[in-house]
C-alpha cells in the first residue's frame, strides 16, 4: 500500500502492522482478512472496508498523538483501533454506531483486542455525538447525501473532517479543513463506495 501512496507515514504503517485485522472480521471470512475487498459483518448492510481506505482517511486528516477523533460508523471496530494507535495515550477516540447488532460486534472486537479505552456509543451518528464535542478530527464512514453540517458543528477550530458524499454507486471522498475563524477549505481526495449514512441526517 505504501508504493501506491495510500500509506505516506511511518505512523500509519506501524498502526496497520500492529492492529490484527483478523480479530475484527467474522470467523467465516477470517481467511480473507487482509484481502483488499470489503467484507460482510453483522448488521444491516454492514461491511468492514478495505484496509487502504482507513489509511486514506487518517493520512489525509494527519491524525496523530493527542488528537480527539469522532468516528461516525463503528462497524467492526477496526478503524477505531487504528485511530487509537495513532492518537496514543494522550488522545481520545469516540466511535458511534446506529445498528445495535453491528455495535455489539464492533464493541466486542475492541474489548477483546485490548482497546478498552475507545469510547463506543450506540446512537445516531448522523447527528454526531455532542456530549464529548468538540473533536480535532472527524471521520464519517458512510455515504452522506449532502454536506454533513450537523456533525461539522462539533469540530474544534481548527479541525478536519473527512467524509464521503454522494448517492448510490460511488461517492466523492471529501476533506474539509475548518480554520480558527470558521473558514472552510474543501478538497476531493478520491472516489469511494460506501453504504448510505442512516439516521436523522442520512439517506431518506
| Overall average pLDDT of the 59-78 stretch | 98
**Residue 169 has what pLDDT?**
82
Evaluate the CA torsion angle 179, 193, 98, 86 in order and state its sign. negative
**Residue 3 has what pLDDT?**
63
Q: Where are the domains of the chain?
A: 10-192
Peptide linkage before 155 cis (omega within 30 of 0): no
pLDDT tens digits along 79-99: 999 999 999 999 999 999 999
Q: How far apart are CA 50 and CA 124, in angstroms?
A: 24
Secondary structure class of 159 (helix, strand, coil):
strand
pLDDT tens digits along 123-182: 999 999 999 999 999 999 999 999 999 999 999 999 999 999 998 888 999 999 999 999
Q: Which CATH class is domain 10-192?
A: alpha beta
- CA-angle at 149, arms to 172 and 176, nearest 5°: 50
* Burial annotation 146-167 (CB, 10 A radius, 16+ → b, else e): eebeebbebbbeebbbbbbbbe
Q: How far apart are CA 127 and CA 28, in angstroms?
A: 33
Tell me the H-state helices in the chain.
10-18, 51-60, 78-87, 100-112, 149-152
- Catalytic residues, which ones? 49
Secondary structure class of 78 (helix, strand, coil):
helix
**Residue 166 has what pLDDT?**
93
Q: Rounded to the nearest 10 degrees, how much is the dihedral formed by the CA atoms of 168, 46, 84, 131?
A: 80
Query: pTM value?
Result: 0.95
Secondary structure class of 9 (helix, strand, coil):
coil
- CA-angle at 59, arms to 138 and 26, nearest 5°: 75
Share of the chain above pLDDT 70, in %: 98
Amino acid at each position: 500500500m505504501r508504493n501506491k501512496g495510500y500509506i505516506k507515514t511511518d505512523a500509519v504503517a506501524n498502526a496497520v502492522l500492529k492492529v490484527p485485522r483478523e480479530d475484527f472480521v467474522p470467523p467465516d471470512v477470517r481467511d480473507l482478512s487482509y484481502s483488499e475487498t470489503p467484507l460482510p459483518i453483522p448488521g444491516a448492510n454492514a461491511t468492514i472496508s478495505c484496509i487502504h481506505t482507513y489509511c486514506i482517511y487518517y493520512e489525509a486528516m494527519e491524525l496523530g498523538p493527542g488528537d480527539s477523533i469522532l468516528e461516525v460508523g463503528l462497524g467492526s471496530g477496526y478503524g477505531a483501533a487504528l485511530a487509537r494507535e495513532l492518537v496514543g495515550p494522550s488522545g481520545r477516540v469516540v466511535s458511534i454506531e446506529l445498528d445495535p447488532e453491528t455495535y455489539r460486534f464492533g464493541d466486542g472486537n475492541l474489548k477483546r483486542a485490548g482497546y478498552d479505552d475507545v469510547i463506543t456509543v450506540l446512537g445516531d451518528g448522523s447527528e454526531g455525538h455532542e456530549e464529548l464535542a468538540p473533536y480535532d478530527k472527524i471521520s464519517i464512514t458512510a455515504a452522506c447525501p449532502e454536506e454533513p453540517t450537523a456533525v461539522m458543528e462539533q469540530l474544534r477550530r481548527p479541525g478536519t473532517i473527512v467524509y464521503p458524499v454522494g448517492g448510490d454507486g460511488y461517492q466523492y471522498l471529501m476533506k474539509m479543513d475548518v480554520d480558527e475563524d470558521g473558514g472552510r477549505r474543501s478538497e476531493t481526495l478520491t472516489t469511494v463506495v460506501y453504504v448510505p449514512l442512516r439516521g436523522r441526517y442520512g439517506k431518506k
